[in-house]
A and B are shown apart, each in its own frame.
Chain A
Amino acid sequence: MNYLPIEKLRSFTGSFDLFTGSKPFKNELLELELLPPLPVAGNELVWGFNLLCSAAKAGYSRLPVVRIIEKPLIELLRIAIILEDRAGNFAWGEMEKIYNLLVKKGSGELFNRLSPFLLGHEDRRLFTRVKQFSSLKTQLKVLVDEKLIDLKTALHCNNWQAALIENIGALLRLGENPLSFSKRRIILNQLLEVSLKQGIPEEKILSLVRNTLNAADPLKTAQALRFPELTAMEECFLELKGKLLAGSGIKLTPPPFFEGENFNISFSFGSKEALEKKISYMKSFAEKTDELFDLLY
């Protein structure tokens, strides 16, 4: 095992200082002097910047190292990523740094080879997605890395002014009952589509997002804005149902999305009289169903 002075190792920090989410090194292990050897290639520390800092603070003067000889950059990156041991938990910003390093050294096209180690599974689109992330405004990159919005939504918002993005980010961080990532994604996408369809100017988008997020049911509110005709049909159905069957104990269900030709009714009864009463309700209901069928065609 080779040892190098900490000061020397500090001068080796350069290209490979890529990770912002490294796990902190455990103090107990430092106290027991149980330190893994740090990989060094030439004058570059390949991995262990966190450990280097912690060891320096704990008073170490030298650290064990392993010299890696004649390995291409992609191999060194693979080693660093494996040592990080965070497959599936790397931030987009970290992956972008790795991608940029490869591009700088003329090997950008090899990036996808790292996907199993970065994601935990192979993904041939990772190269494209990291490039997409790279094209985002800084404010959007922050939101994507904070998992406040997804990459696809962020790409759609990339033309927005930085201030609007920051304000939307602040709104997303605020909520008292934070929405799940998936709900946030759906809501933002729907609002984005509403703004595109209606040509809503940027200065009004913030209030659209704010009002929706502050609503009692943000998902339902966004859906109503995105699908106004379907929502109107659902409201009309509820109104008709109330008007025609309220108090009857008869359950009426439309076909999903009013797609189809049959409504369903169901009820229960416990006596001949109860059944006769239901039948009487049904007879009167049957005479007033025109508006109901208007919802289908």
Chain B
Amino acid sequence: MNSLTSYIDHFKKIYVAGEVRHLRRLETALERLRHLPVIYIDDKSEIPGVDMNSHTLFISGSKGETVGHCPTSRGHLCCNYITVDLYLGCILNCSYCIMKSYLNFAPITIYPNTEVAIKQIIEIAENNKDRTIRVGTGEVGDSLLLDPIFRLSEDFIRALSPFANIFLELKTKTHFVDHLLGLENKGNTVIGFSLNPEKLISRYEGIAGTLSERVQAARKIVEHGYLVSFHFDPLFLTGDWLHQYAQTISSLKDIPQDRIAWISLGTIRYTKELKQKMGSRDFLLEEFIPCRDGKYRYLQKTRCRMYRYIIEQIRTRWRSPIPVYLCMESPAVWKNVFGRLPREIAELSAIFKEAQGCLPYPASTSTSRADVKRFEQGRII
């Protein structure tokens, strides 16, 4: 059992930047972390080099936008997900974590001021009443890992629950849901569990919760009126992947289909930079090829085979159509796996509709010209 205490013990020091030090909720959170030294500073540049690591918690006001679009990927279909940065960075240490290649600030950062982000999401929802707005806090950190201490998700759940078109997703690899059970209005809050077979969790997902912990948490949260989502992402091709994933999907048998908001699938993918940081992981010995967005993926034929199999397992488990979508996949793969593009699939069209309003799409993706050239010239390395 991975307890919250064992995660908290990972931290050695807390730095609090001036602008948030008087928040009442911070007092409560710091009381829960009273064994840790707290240093008040004006700016993150004051954190000494020796503490620039994941053992440091940095609590601060955000310097920029915390609400944004999920970064699009060149040549791949985007699901128009809106992201909120609440908890930045992660201590779970999954070997494939993409954040390792793009977060350039090592301390785990918390933005306890939630008002601006909530206001912005409500504005988007009101401007898009005919669309489903999916918002998630798990893009740059685990939504629930530190939430029992800081309780930031509650603000979002309370404020967004009256909006029928907002689906707030709290994505996690933990089982820390107890603090959310007693909330009165849940609205369309979705607790998203990233899943993999137990064998792969223990091999690649650092100190994240076990599969059974996550599944039990999913059952519990459903009993308390929340929706759940499952993310089979990243999927790994291992010797016995067919059996492993079938078993994992089978472990979800008690979850009623009408409480599952969506299921996403995505095979393992990585950038060149991430590969440097992943070291010599055995999953890297499979055949990966560079794709249009510069990320390395399994061969298209292999990915299609994997998706088709997982979807078949899902359809066997739950007869009615649950929205299943692919994360960062190409139109070619969508067409092969589903026979259609997402906007042509009834249960997905609402999800994939682009929200209009105050959020600009990222100006560019992480794909470099060298990445594009490598793909077009058919060079593996």
Residues of A within 8 A of B331 (CB): 261
Residues of B within 8 A of A257 (CB): 289-291, 299-300, 375, 378, 380
Interface residue? B31 (CB, 8 A): no
**Is the Cβ of A223 less than 8 Å from the Cβ of B380?**
yes
> Which bracket fits the contact residues of A?
20 to 34
Given A193-B285, A295-B301: A260 and B378 interface contact (C-beta under 8 Å): no
Interface residue? B376 (CB, 8 A): yes
Which residues of chain A in 176-200 are interfacial with respect to chain B, using CB atoms and an 8 Å cutoff? 186, 193, 196-197
From B290, B301, B336, name the one whose CB has the most chain A CB atoms within 10 angstroms.
Answer: B301
**Is the Cβ of A229 less than 8 Å from the Cβ of B299?**
yes
- What's the minimum C-beta distance from A208 to chain B, rounded to whole angstroms? 15
Residues of A within 8 A of B330 (CB): 259-260
Interface residue? A26 (CB, 8 A): no
Residues of B within 8 A of A296 (CB): 300-301, 332, 336
Residues of B within 8 A of A230 (CB): 287, 289, 299
- What's the minimum C-beta distance from B133 to chain A, rounded to whole angstroms? 31
Interface residue? B364 (CB, 8 A): no
**Is the Cβ of B292 less than 8 Å from the Cβ of A259?**
yes
Interface residue? A267 (CB, 8 A): no
Given A196-B285, A227-B287, A230-B289: A260 and B299 interface contact (C-beta under 8 Å): no
Given A156-B280, A261-B331: A297 and B378 interface contact (C-beta under 8 Å): no
Roughly how many angstroms separate A193 CA and B376 CA in the complex, as a whole number?
Answer: 25
Roughly how many angstroms separate A50 CA and B20 CA in the complex, as a whole number?
Answer: 62
Roughly how many angstroms separate A258 CA and B82 CA in the complex, as a whole number?
Answer: 32
**Is the Cβ of B336 less than 8 Å from the Cβ of A297?**
yes
Roughly how many angstroms separate A156 CA and B284 CA in the complex, as a whole number?
Answer: 14
Residue of B nearest to A256 (CB): B378
Interface residue? B304 (CB, 8 A): yes
**Is the Cβ of A227 less than 8 Å from the Cβ of B380?**
yes
Residues of B within 8 A of A260 (CB): 300, 330, 332
Candidates A196, A223, A227, A259; contact of B300 at CB < 8 Å: A259
Interface residue? B320 (CB, 8 A): no
Residues of B within 8 A of A156 (CB): 280
Interface residue? B377 (CB, 8 A): yes
Residue of A nearest to B286 (CB): A197
- What's the minimum C-beta distance from A124 to chain B, rounded to whole angstroms? 11
> Which bracket fits the contact residues of B?
20 to 34
Roughly how many angstroms separate A297 CA and B335 CA in the complex, as a whole number?
Answer: 10
Given A156-B280, A261-B332, A296-B300: A256 and B287 interface contact (C-beta under 8 Å): no
Interface residue? B381 (CB, 8 A): yes
Residues of B within 8 A of A256 (CB): 375-378
**Is the Cβ of B381 less than 8 Å from the Cβ of A297?**
no
Interface residue? B127 (CB, 8 A): no
Residue of B nearest to A230 (CB): B287
From A229, A257, A258, A295, name the one whose CB has the most chain B CB atoms within 10 angstroms.
Answer: A257
Residue of A nearest to B378 (CB): A256
Q: Interface readout for B330-365 with A: 1 if CB under 8 Å, 0 if not? A: 111001100000000000000000000000000000
Residues of A within 8 A of B377 (CB): 256
Residue of A nearest to B331 (CB): A261
Which residues of chain B in 270-319 are interfacial with respect to chain A, using CB atoms and an 8 Å cutoff? 280, 282, 284-285, 287, 289-292, 297, 299-302, 304
6 nearest CB pairs, A to B: A261-B332, A257-B289, A197-B285, A256-B378, A297-B336, A259-B300
Given contacts A256-B376, A257-B291, 13 further A-B pairs with CB under 8 A are A186-B381, A193-B284, A196-B285, A257-B375, A257-B380, A259-B292, A259-B330, A259-B375, A261-B335, A261-B336, A296-B300, A296-B301, A297-B301
